[in-house]
Amino acid sequence: MSNITAIAKRAKVSRTTVSRVLNNHPYVNTEKREAVLKVIEELNYVPNLNAINLSRGRTNVFGVIVPKIGHPFFSNLIEGIGKACNKHNYSLLVHQSNNDPKTELEFFNKLKYKMIDGLILGSSVSPTGVIDELSHFGKIVSCEYSDSSKVAKVFVNHESGIKMAVDHLKDQGHQEIGLCIGNPKSGVGITRKKSFFNLQKEYRLSWRDDWYFDKRYTIEDGAEVAKTIFGQPSRPTAMVVGNDHVATGMIYEAKKQGVKIPEELAIIGFDNQPISEVVELTSINQPIIEIGETAANLLHSIIQNQTVPFINTIELELIKRKST
């Protein structure tokens, strides 16, 4: 395990010079540079990043925290972040929290303890106070809405997503539109719910309380929702569904029962997952990879002290298929 000192001795130069060669500094005599390079070769020298990091006071590593890596949203987000990290020569430390605050705090320490230069919140369950305090230790970018004024943000405009969906259905003549979402207490859930009901009032759409469903996440959940709807005396003519899998389940149940889509029930999903293509589901696409890339680029810029927009929204797009 040769180090810079051994190189210096053998090449008969100072450690500084070796360091300069290593870091491609200018102002090094060609002869010395070559002598150093030769010794480096001979001794199979490899640098020690921990020493470099300690000395420089930074690591060129970003961290990202998500509830679950295997979730399509988050894996695509991380893919985007990773792409941007590669571009900027940063490494990426990934942590999954399972939405457990304790596990989150542990990871936050990586920022405090200087193991990462910046942090991206894929999704966090920690209170604003915790995030605010953490921001003293390094730059933070959030990929979801956050009350903290200390973190930069990149997220999709969920309000506009709902509007896009409702407008599309309204344009097709629907007046009786139901809503089905996932976790009603998450940031996204709250926003979607609020936006939906605001629009519903604004457009003076019909409404019945049994047109609303939440905590639905899976294909099976969707099938069950559809069953419930079809069993009701008065059903909506269209449904806005916060998740393509749930929407898919609904389509399948409809087919099973011979209910025609979209004639008897129009369905619009969210996220434009691969599955939506298969079942020809109209869906609101979030360019997730782009969000990740933007987040990492933003973090990088902030760390370089560049002036950049602190809050960034990414626009959604409607992918029209046969379910509407």
Partner DNA sequence: ATGAAAGCGCTAACAG
Partner DNA sequence: CTGTTAGCGCTTTCAT
The CA distance from 199 to 23, in Å, is: 58
CB of 54 to DNA, least distance (A): 4
Give which of DNA, its own copies, none residue 248 binds (C-beta under 5 to 8 Å, depending on kind): its own copies
CB of 19 to DNA, least distance (A): 3
- Do residues 63 and 277 touch, judged by C-beta distance below 8 A? no
Range 238-257, binding its own copies (CB under 8 A): 245, 248-249, 252
Closer to DNA at the Cβ: 50 or 307?
Answer: 50
Range 21-80, binding DNA (CB under 7 A): 22-23, 26-29, 31-33, 45, 47-48, 51-52, 54-57
Closest CA to 300 of 83, 107, 117: 117
Q: What are phi and psi of 268, to 5 degrees?
A: -130, 130
Contact between 110 and its own copies per CB under 8 A: yes
**Of 10-18, 82-90, 223-231, 283-291, which segment contacts DNA by CB under 7 A?**
10-18
Give which of its own copies, DNA, none residue 232 binds (C-beta under 5 to 8 Å, depending on kind): none
Long-range contacts of 8-17 (CB under 8 A, 24+ apart): 10/39, 10/42, 10/43, 11/35, 11/36, 11/38, 11/39
Contact between 258 and its own copies per CB under 8 A: no
Non-local (6+) Cβ contacts of 27 within 8 A are 20
Q: Which residues contact its own copies by CB under 8 A?
A: 46-51, 53-54, 59, 61, 68-72, 74-76, 78-79, 82-83, 86, 91-96, 103, 109-110, 112-115, 137, 219, 245, 248-249, 252, 274-275, 277-279, 289
